A and B are shown apart, each in its own frame.
Chain A
């Protein structure tokens, strides 16, 4: 399954400067949220490459996928990559996971195998979905188990949109917790996102763009929320700006694997360096800069500002404050005209204000990719394995308990074949264990770093 001819003679592939992202990955967009984000992603990806597409679009309602097929990306996708139904999952994880899961299992597997065949060397599946609904949450996580069984050596990266406090789907806590258990057990890496943070970032940008400060003009294509530009939709939907941020996240995540640089980082290195223990695989992400000003000469001060911003809580894609919590590991993926000395200088500068766990005091993973994103001269994606995710999980658990104590809406789930109350109790137990792990780590925060006694060798 994994590439590698055994012949001694291996012709060197054409040294084109841009190689196809999709020799290595397959993107699975599940549910309404997943497909809308995925759509933005492909839009932007095409700007960076003339890419051959490898994606599978799954939705249990026709609306979103149909729109994609009629929209400007219709040439990018074809029917062979779709799995749709019409009835929707009714915001019910059980329907998505158990009912549609078993119904579409064979179809999904077949399309997965076909997609995988087209890849030179499949390294990673990207799953994009939301946690709060039914299809993305239920069917999306059903997929995870399927992928693990069918393609055990391929990494599973999941981008999960968590519901905000004011989510209008009442059962979103149930769906999220049930999905969390699957993420805990079957995902290699999860990038949690929440809508509120995305919304705040969008507002911040709007403020900047519309403030009309003296002489400052922003390059439109550089804004992290902007679409590819060429294909303008008739009206920009409210979520478009937010989805574009996530799409940019995915693009930057893969940039070092796609383009050249002096210090490359493949996708398998992300998991290797950022996941010290299998269950602690939730990575908080931040993207900077959010936009580029139109002036040509960018002084080095701006470069350092980019690094500072990446650690600010205002730039994180979930509600989290990594600076005031404990780092297990941190990755900095830099694009553009940035050299190793810039990177080192900034790490040295920022280190004192950050707390790293005692056994990983220098827990930095870095990469330098020469090609910047369109419209920028440089950009930074920071991924943090940090205990600052804990509050998100604790809040989710609280909201779940409020519903579960009253057994509200439970029957909608239990009437689905394969669902039992134990699914709920196991799910919340799994989450509690995870929270406990983070608690234990946090407890070590204020302890002094002790050197452990080393091996003594009898001479």
Chain B
């Protein structure tokens, strides 16, 4: 039979409370999907899917319980303890107890403390743990770093570690999964922490996969119909989105085996130019299990919605603006075109559509190949890719994920820079950062980079 490797491996770094809480949900979602009986494909296909998923995210253990390929880091112990025990309790998979690094006192929501104090202090220990995980891999695709921007550990220490990975593992790819905080009501200094994170990571990470809490919250409220939304709910939606991207997939050419390089493949499709590396994920359909039982979908319908979500920069299929259309500047003018529709249009640099499920080969992706969707410096054939996989994902008979490199983040980023700038101008909270070696100059550097 085939003697090729099943898949290159992905090591996940879970940083801070957010990173660890999400990380757990991601591994859980990946595992449950790979063992889901409703794969809608033949047995051999399913087994290959499972094996590929396993090689990618889990390592083998003597007693047969798969161990997540993960390093858990936090500056206080409660969350990691919880995460370890939740995984162990499930009985299905677990974390390696030795792949955890914990301190006692947190980072105080202070980027400077995470970056300048915790970073150097614990560099050796953390990099050692990462090295041990790397050694467990036959072949390493790269690192997936889960962190929030708003706090102190994920943001500050996360940035520091990413830079270290760049130095120590220059051949491996790094994708940072960044959680964009709620516009209001999480951490007061979140805008400072965010600009410091983004400006530094832009230089050291290969791709930034961004999820906004406000967006996921709306998905929970409107699509999933959850009344009292908890962080657990948010994290599960996120895990679902990530799973639909990272689970094994075939490429369009219909090869005989699943794609091997999770990060490499994504990077190749989505980051043609290092200056533009912020990615978003859209997933369709998304709904509560109850509703799922009563719904059927066609690929045409799903893809039509997905395309409109892209160009109108909507994050979910409900309530989007169907009036937004791509600019018609390349076609002969037929009467006046409304300027507003063009202003709201979301131009893409690159798009990747991942389809999973029944009759996937019949899906027509013509709508995504329209040159009007893309910037002028890339041809659609280079800017657009599609992966089709028959094996269904997580109980959805048909599901589509769109990973996009587009203008989507310009407005939210602008808002954050605005607020941070206003606060910086009055010098509020700056003493908390200079205390740990982040000077006003560093702030200015960050602002400069982001304004560009």
Which A residues are closer than 8 A to B by beta carbons? 2-4, 6-10, 12-13, 15, 19, 23-24, 120-121, 123, 259-260, 262-264, 266, 268-269, 271-278, 329, 339-344, 347-348, 351, 358-366, 368, 451-452, 454-457, 459
User: Is the CB of B106 closer than 8 A to any CB of chain A?
Assistant: yes
Cβ 8 A contact of A360, one of B109, B152, B188, B418: B188
Decide if A273 touches B109 in the complex (CB within 8 Å).
yes
A12 touches B84 (CB 8 A): yes
Q: Which of A13, A271, A344 is most buried by chain B, counting CB atoms within 10 A of its CB? A: A344
Chain B residues with Cβ below 8 Å from A340 are 217, 229-231, 234
Q: Given that A6-B125, A264-B79 are known contacts, is A348 also in contact with B108, CB under 8 Å in the complex? A: no
Contact (Cβ within 8 A) B418 A454 = yes
B275: interface (CB < 8 Å): no
**CA–CA, A459 and B121, complex, Å:** 39
* In-complex Cβ contact of B417 among A2, A264, A272, A454 (8 A): A454
Q: Which residue of A lies closest to B122 (CB)?
A: A4
CB of A262 within 8 A of CB of B230, answer yes
Known: A276-B429, A339-B230, A341-B230. 10 other contacts (CB 8 A): A8-B125, A8-B128, A12-B80, A15-B82, A264-B78, A269-B106, A329-B188, A340-B234, A351-B184, A366-B185
**What's the Cα separation between A275 and B101 when bound, in Å?**
30
A364: which B residues are within 8 A, CB to CB? 184-186, 188
The complex places the Cα of A276 from the Cα of B424 at a distance, in Å, of: 11
Shortest Cβ gap from A265 to chain B (Å):
9
Q: With A273-B187, A360-B423 known to touch, is A12 a contact of B228 (CB < 8 Å)?
A: no
Which residues of A lie under 8 Å from residue B17 when comparing CB positions?
263-264
CB contact between A121 and one of B82, B103, B220, B427 (< 8 Å): that residue: B103
Q: Chain B interface: which size bin?
A: 35 or more
Q: Which of B65-123 contact A (CB under 8 A)?
A: 76-82, 84-85, 97-98, 100-106, 108-110, 121-122
Q: Once the chains bind, are B104 and A24 in contact (CB under 8 Å)?
A: yes
Given A3-B103, A262-B21, A457 contacting B451 (CB threshold 8 A): yes
Q: Residue among B129, B184, B418, B419 with the most chain A CB within 10 A?
A: B184
Residues in B whose Cβ lies below 8 Å from that of A339: 228-231
Q: Note all chain B residues with C-beta closer than 8 A to A6.
A: 124-125
- B188→A274 contact, CB < 8 A: yes
Q: Which residue of B lies closest to A120 (CB)?
A: B104
A365 to B451, CA, bound (A): 27
B447 lies within 8 A of chain A by Cβ: yes
Cβ-based interface call for B189 (8 A): yes
Query: How close is A278's CB to chain B, nearest CB, in angstroms?
Result: 6
Cα distance A135–B26 in the bound complex, in angstroms: 56
Which residue of B has the minimal Cβ distance to A3?
B104
Interface string of B12-43 (1 = CB under 8 A from A): 00000100010000000000000000000000
B136 in contact (CB, < 8 A)? no
Contacts of B431 in A (CB 8 A): 277-278
Q: Within the assembled complex, what's the spacing in Å between the Cα atoms of A277 and B395?
A: 53
Q: Inter-chain contact count A-B, CB under 8 Å?
A: 170
User: Which B residues have a C-beta under 8 Å from some C-beta of A?
Assistant: 17, 21, 76-82, 84-85, 97-98, 100-106, 108-110, 121-122, 124-125, 128-129, 152, 182-189, 217, 220-221, 227-232, 234, 417-419, 421-423, 425-429, 431-432, 444, 447-448, 451-452
For B420, the closest partner residue in chain A by CB is A359
Question: What residues of chain A lie closer than 8 Å to B79, measured between beta carbons?
Answer: 260, 264
Q: A268–B81 contact, CB under 8 A?
A: no
Task: Give complex CA distance A23, B78 in Å.
Answer: 13
Interfacial chain A residues near B418, Cβ < 8 Å: 451, 454
Known: A4-B103, A15-B81, A276-B429. Contact between A362 and B229, CB under 8 A? no
Q: How far is A4 from B234 in the complex, measured between Cα atoms in Å?
A: 32
Q: Is the CB of A262 within 8 A of B231?
A: yes
Which 4 residue pairs of A and B lie closest in terms of their CB atoms, listed nearest first? Answer: A121-B104, A268-B108, A341-B229, A15-B81
Closest chain A residue to B79, Cβ basis: A264
Residue of B nearest to A23 (CB): B104
Our pick among B21, B185, B452 for the contact of A347 (Cβ within 8 Å) is B185
Tell me the complex Cα distance, A364–B188, Å: 5
Residues of A within 8 A of B234 (CB): 340
Could you say which of B100, B110, B428 contacts A277, with CB atoms under 8 Å apart? B428
Nearest CB of chain A from residue B390's CB, rounded to whole Å: 37
Distance in angstroms between the alpha carbons of A176 and B82 in the assembled complex:
45
- The complex places the Cα of A123 from the Cα of B428 at a distance, in Å, of 24
Chain A residues positioned under 8 Å from B221 (CB to CB): 341
Complex CA–CA separation, A9 to B221 (angstroms): 42
CA distance A278 to B434 in the complex (A): 12
Which residues in A have their C-beta under 8 angstroms from that of B217? 340-341, 344
Shortest CB-to-CB span from B238 to chain A, Å, is: 14
Q: How far is the CA of A51 from the CA of B447 in the complex (A)?
A: 47
User: A269 near B185 (CB under 8 angstroms)?
Assistant: no
